[in-house]
Amino acid sequence: MNLAFRDVRHNLFRFILTCLGLGLLMTVVLAMMGIYNGLVSDALNIVKAPQADIWVVEADTQGPFAEASKVPNDTRDAVARLHGVARAGSITYQTVEAPFKGAALRLYVIGYERGRLGGPQTIVQGRGLQASHFELVADAKTGLIPGDTIVLGRDRFTVVGLVRDTMNSGGDPAVFLTLADAQVLQTQLDPSAARVQAARGAVGSGGATVAAVIAKLDPNVDPQSVANTVRQWKHLSALTQAEQEDILIKSVVDKARKQIGLFLGILLTVSAVVIALIIYTMTMEKLKQIATLKLIGAPDRTIIGLIVQQSLALGAVGLMLGLALIMTVKDSFPRRVLLEPVNALALTGIILVVCVLASGLGVRAALKVDPATALGG
Amino acid sequence: MDRRVIVDIKGVAKHYGCGETRVDALRNLDLQVHAGEVVARLGPSGSGKTTLLNIIGCIIDPSEGQVSLDGELVYDNRWLRGDLRRLRLDKIGFIFQAHNLIPFLNAVDNVALVLQLAGKTTAQAQARAMELLDYLEVGPRARAMPALLSGGEAQRVAIARALANSPRIILADEPTAALDSKRAGIVMGLLRKLAAEQDACIIAVTHDEKIMDRFDRLFHLRDGRLEE
């Protein structure tokens, strides 16, 4: 006779309500895990998207994702001529706000040269850029769909295709323009004083620049050796893809990552305390019954089983509800919630340990109950 | 009637505290209860009635003395058996004032639980439990939860549970306190009948004047001493 099951069945409504509460808590824990993963993944996606081996950036900078980097437009030709470089392309990055359907849409604009490195990898709907101007490919998170038009700077662009999971470390979804359009947009969005100077033809103010030049190397070419060559050039530096990813993780998203990680830790602690309190309260409510069980001769293992099994059932059902809920609502979050099977497994392990530890408090209280309590004296 | 001694208590004392705060709940107490006997212990509140019940039920330690149950010496200034719960399961049945049925088990499962704890299979336990409930005329209420049983029905289920493993000793703490005169009379009649049939002794703690004439012997506890 399984006493834990009988007790749960007897108090089914209360058990379901408790599981629901715990499930909501698990949803928040899983959401935090997903946001944490999403933050890291998004940050890496944007740097992995161009599929580059080398990033040529302005000297003494950490590249376009960490700080402002400007390199001359013609750098791409110089990089393309380097031994071991298979392909090269110029790329720009900037964040803009554009009005769309009565709201301000914050976009991460990536300008690239059509037919060269840096463009969108997989178009999930529509097509890639074909015209030289005024077309864009947007991340689906922007809410734009093919055929929509949107004004960026002083020009109206037509959405021709969609990509997925391409956003910067701040969570702003990306749009891809031709490099020429992106550079014009950059100029249009310059501070007014700079624009006046440019209109007057001031030297140095109108020179076209890009954020970085990216290069794909031939097979078996060591990226570090190519990077070392570039580092010898004046005003330029180079980062390998691994270095670029490392900068993103350790520098750009590090604080946000730690913040979410800390919050996740706090949430898990709160969950553990809540589970412990629920189990302890459930046990305390049954002390007279436990005393009766002891009095009629039930061994400790029967009483421990009653508490531990209920604790595990509570944790398991709460976790399943949490998983079901987060899978249902994860796409409604403004930032990407990326859940891997390993997260569910890790949380299962944590909940298992928490439930066993939490039930320890209840078991301790139950084992201390004097069977004489059942007699009322 | 088999006059074998089932409960044999010699020189049992129980003190609480020490020094000036010492309280003697029981003093040098001797008691013998035979098979088939139904005895009651009376006494004012705090006279040690429940303490004696707890000692016979192997729930609390006496401070000194000897306790023999069903011919086995179980306490001689220390417990001589490590598995007191097993001893209770096999030899002692408890009937409580407030029936103390497990609220999440139905009537038949409350009785079957004790049998399963003693090692019976589910089928055996259920069959025996039903047999007892039928015998106590609560068979039709076997699937009812304790909250849905009347006071008399619940007490009969509690008696069935106490009898499930055919114990030789039944300890009853105010078994009729929650019942009206008619029901109390029925329950006492039933206990007497069971004591005779199962060769068990029944030791009750009671204040219930209306059932005094249903006991073979009455003991009064005064200042920790027993007077017949």
- Residues A350-365: pLDDT tens digits? 888 888 888 888 888 8
Question: Which residue type occupies A181?
Answer: D
Q: Look at residue A205 and tell me whether its pLDDT is greater than 90.
A: no
**Chain B residue closest in CA terms to A287:** B102
In the numeric block, the tokens 């709201």 are attached to: A103
Within 8 A of B122 by CB-CB distance, chain A residues are 1
% residues pLDDT > 90 (chain A):
28
Chain B CB within 8 Å of residue A6 CB:
yes
Main-chain phi, psi angles of A115, to 5 degrees: 85, -5
Q: Look at residue A140 and tell me whether its pLDDT is greater than 50.
A: yes
- Residues A303-328: pLDDT tens digits? 999 899 988 998 899 999 999 999 99
State the number of CA atoms in the 13 A half-sphere of B36 facing the CB: 7
pLDDT recorded at residue A146: 94
Q: Hey, is A291 helix, strand or coil?
A: helix
Cβ of B117 within 8 Å of Cβ of A299? The answer is yes
Residue burial A63-77, b: 16+ Cβ < 10 Å; e: rest: bbbbeebbbbeebbe
Do B68 and B58 form a contact (C-beta atoms < 8 A)?
no
Average pLDDT, chain B: 85
* Residue B59 Cα, gap to closest chain A Cα (Å): 6
pLDDT recorded at residue A201: 63
pLDDT recorded at residue A179: 92
pLDDT recorded at residue A121: 82
- Residues B26-77: pLDDT tens digits? 888 888 898 888 888 877 776 777 788 888 888 888 888 999 998 889 898 8
Chain A interface disruption, residue of B49, B50, B59, B91, most A CBs within 10 A: B59
**Chain A residue closest in CA terms to B45:** A377
Structure tokens at A217: 């190397």
Do A94 and A186 form a contact (C-beta atoms < 8 A)?
yes
Q: Look at residue A290 and tell me whether its pLDDT is greater than 80.
A: yes
Per-residue HEC secondary structure of chain B comes to: CCCCEEEEEEEEEEEECCHHHCEEEEEEEEEEEECCCEEEEECCCCCCHHHHHHHHCCCCCCCEEEEEECCEEEEECCECCCCHHHHHHHHEEEECCCCCCCCCCCHHHHHHHHHHHCCCCHHHHHHHHHHHHHHCCCHHHCCCCHHHCCHHHHHHHHHHHHHCCCCCEEEEECCCCCCCHHHHHHHHHHHHHHHHHHCCEEEEECCCHHHHHHCCEEEEEECCEEEC
CA A261 to chain CA mean position, Å:
12
Within 8 A of A293 by CB-CB distance, chain B residues are 102
CA dist A165 and A173 (Å) reads 8
pLDDT recorded at residue A377: 45
**Chain A residue closest in CA terms to B90:** A297
* Residue A263 Cα, gap to closest chain B Cα (Å): 40
Do B183 and B151 form a contact (C-beta atoms < 8 A)?
yes
Q: Look at residue A137 and tell me whether its pLDDT is greater than 90.
A: yes
For A330-340, where are the alpha helices, taking DSSP H only? none
Cβ of B114 within 8 Å of Cβ of A297? The answer is yes
Average pLDDT over residues A129-138: 92
pLDDT recorded at residue A190: 63
Q: Look at residue B228 and tell me whether its pLDDT is greater than 60.
A: yes
Q: Which CATH architecture has domain B5-101+165-227?
A: 3-Layer(aba) Sandwich (3.40)
Cβ of A372 within 8 Å of Cβ of B100? The answer is no
pLDDT recorded at residue A255: 80
Chain B CB within 8 Å of residue A197 CB:
no
**Chain A residue closest in CA terms to B108:** A1
Average pLDDT over residues A57-62: 86
Do B224 and B25 form a contact (C-beta atoms < 8 A)?
yes
Q: What is the number of residues in chain B?
A: 228
Average pLDDT over residues A93-110: 90
ipTM score for this prediction: 0.82
Do B66 and B79 form a contact (C-beta atoms < 8 A)?
no
Structure tokens at B97: 């004032």
Q: What is the CA radius of gyration of chain A?
A: 29
Q: Hey, is A205 helix, strand or coil?
A: coil
Q: Which residue has the higher pLDDT, A252 or A270?
A: A270
Cβ of A375 within 8 Å of Cβ of B50? The answer is yes
- Residues A12-44: pLDDT tens digits? 998 999 999 989 988 998 998 888 888 888 888
Q: Look at residue A191 and tell me whether its pLDDT is greater than 70.
A: no
CA dist A25 and A249 (Å) reads 28
**Chain B residue closest in CA terms to A289:** B102
Average pLDDT over residues A150-179: 90
| Lowest mean pLDDT segment, chosen from A278-282, B67-71, B95-99 | B95-99
Cβ of B86 within 8 Å of Cβ of A374? The answer is no
Do A62 and A54 form a contact (C-beta atoms < 8 A)?
no
Q: Look at residue B2 and tell me whether its pLDDT is greater than 60.
A: no
Cβ of B51 within 8 Å of Cβ of A289? The answer is no
Q: Which residue has the higher pLDDT, A253 or A194?
A: A253
